[in-house]
Amino acid sequence: MTTFHPILKNLEQAVFSKDPDRVDELFQDKSITDLDHALIVNALTQGLETARKELGTMTVSVAEFLLSVDAMRQGFEHLKKLAPEDKDRPKAVIGVIKGDVHVLGANIIAGVMEALGYDVKNLGQDTDVEQFLSELKQSKASILGLSSMMSTTLADMKETIARCKRELPNVKIIVGGACLDENLAKAIGSDGYAASAAQLPETLDEIERLIDPKKTSRKYVDYDRKIQVIESS
C-alpha cells in the first residue's frame, strides 16, 4: 500500500478550485516525478468529480465546471511529458455513439487514458459502427470505449458491441455516459463500466486483467483511507 503524498491533495484541490496556474506550479515540484502516474491521474480526476457533483446540485455553473475541466487537462498535459516514450503503449479507440453529439465526456476519458499511458484514437461525436470497426482493425487496438448521454442511442451502442464481439472477439469494451448504469452496461454486453473519469483507472485495471489473465495484481485508490492499494491474487 502507498500512502498519499501531500502534492496529490493539492492537485485535487487545484482542479476543484478551477486553478490551472496552481496545477502548473505543483508540477514544478520535483517530488512529483517519484509518484505513480495512476495516483496523479486519480488526484486530478477526483478534483473534477467533486466539481461535477457540485454541478449536479447547481452549486457551480456549467462555465465554472468547464474551468475545472481545463485545470484537469492542464495536469494531463504535464503528466504526458513526464511519461517515458513507449512505442508499445496499449492502444484504445473511443468515441460517442451515432446520434449523440455530447463529446465532452469522451474527450475527458481520452485525456485520462493518454495520461495513464494509452495510445488513444478519439473518433469524437456521432460515430457509427463501421467507423469503430474500421479504426479498431487498422490500429489493432485492444480496448474500445463507447460513450453516450442519450438513451435513444442505446440500441446503436448494443449493436456496436455485438458487432465488435463477433468480428473482433479479443477487443474489450468499456462504456460510460449519463444514460447508463452498471446493470445496463452489462445487459448490453460491455466488459466494463466507468461512471466517471475518477472510476476509469480502476475499470481499466480490470479490463487489462481480462486481456491478460496472467496479470494477478489489482491496483486501485482508496480515497477514504487515502492510500493506493495493490492486491495480489
**Eight-class DSSP state of 30:** G
Measured at the CA of 78, the angle between CA 198 and CA 204, to 5 degrees, comes to 30
pTM: 0.82
pLDDT score, position 125: 94
Q: Per the structure block, which three cell numbers stand in for 98?
A: 451515432
- 39 burial via Cβ count (<10 Å: 0-12, 13-18, 19+): buried
Identify the pLDDT of residue 115: 87
Domain that holds residue 142: 88-197
Tens digits of per-residue pLDDT, 191-230? 999 988 888 988 998 998 888 877 655 555 555 555 555 5
Contacts 24+ apart (CB under 8 A), 134-140: 135/93, 136/93, 136/164, 136/168, 136/171, 137/168, 139/91, 139/93, 140/91
183: domain CATH number? 3.40.50.280
Confidence grade of residue 83 (pLDDT, cut at 50, 70, 90): confident
Amino acid at 144: L
Number of domains in the chain: 1
C-alpha to C-alpha distances, 214 to 128, 183, 206, 218, 232, nearest whole angstrom? 34, 27, 12, 12, 11
DSSP state of 2: E
Tell whether 162 is covered by a domain.
yes
Among residues 206, 210, 211, 195, the alpha carbon closest in space to that of 219 is found at: 206
Confidence band of 1 (pLDDT split at 50, 70, 90): very low
Position 36 in a domain: no
What's the pLDDT at 2? 43
- 25 pLDDT higher than 90: yes
Report yes or no on 136 lying in a domain: yes
Torsion of CA 137, 157, 218, 213, to 10 degrees: -50
In a domain, 74, yes or no: no
125 belongs to a structural domain: yes
Residue 66's closest CA among 108, 96, 28, 98?
A: 108
Look at residue 60 and tell me if it is in a domain. no
Residue 222 counted as domain residue: no
Specify the pLDDT at position 228.
53
| β-pair partners for 141 | none
Give φ, ψ of 36 to 5 degrees: -60, 130
| Residue 230 pLDDT | 53
The single-letter DSSP state of residue 212 is -
pLDDT (tens digit per residue) in 146-188: 999 999 999 999 999 999 999 999 999 999 998 999 999 999 9
In a domain, 185, yes or no: yes
